[in-house]
Amino acid sequence: MSDATELTSATFEAAVGSGVTLVDFWAEWCGPCRMMTPVLNELAGQFAGKAGIAKVNVDSEPSLAEKYRVSSIPTLLVFKDGTETKRFVGVTPKAELLKAIDAALA
């Protein structure tokens, strides 16, 4: 099983700039965010080599949270070639995330 990649302001644009990437905006103190961690790690293993699965800690990277208008966490964004294609707010079932990633890959 792979783990989701931790992104910072320095690595974010390169990570989402090409291909498909699911980015989870989260924080350590957020219970619902912690509930999403095993789902994201499963997706990272499932989509290894096909799509990126990444996380942004909003406490460490408030400028990224502000740039992408993240006001509630967890917020999960699907990017395709640098453009946001789908947004989920709150705990999201794995099946919905799978569907969104598959749609972006198609």
The bridge status of strand 75-80 relative to strand 20-26 is antiparallel
Active-site residue, selected from the candidate residues 7, 15, 16, 33: 33
* Catalytic annotation present for 48: no
CB 23 within 8 A of CB 63: no
* Catalytic annotation present for 30: yes
Active-site residue, selected from the candidate residues 27, 30, 89, 98: 30
Which residues are catalytic, by number? 30, 33
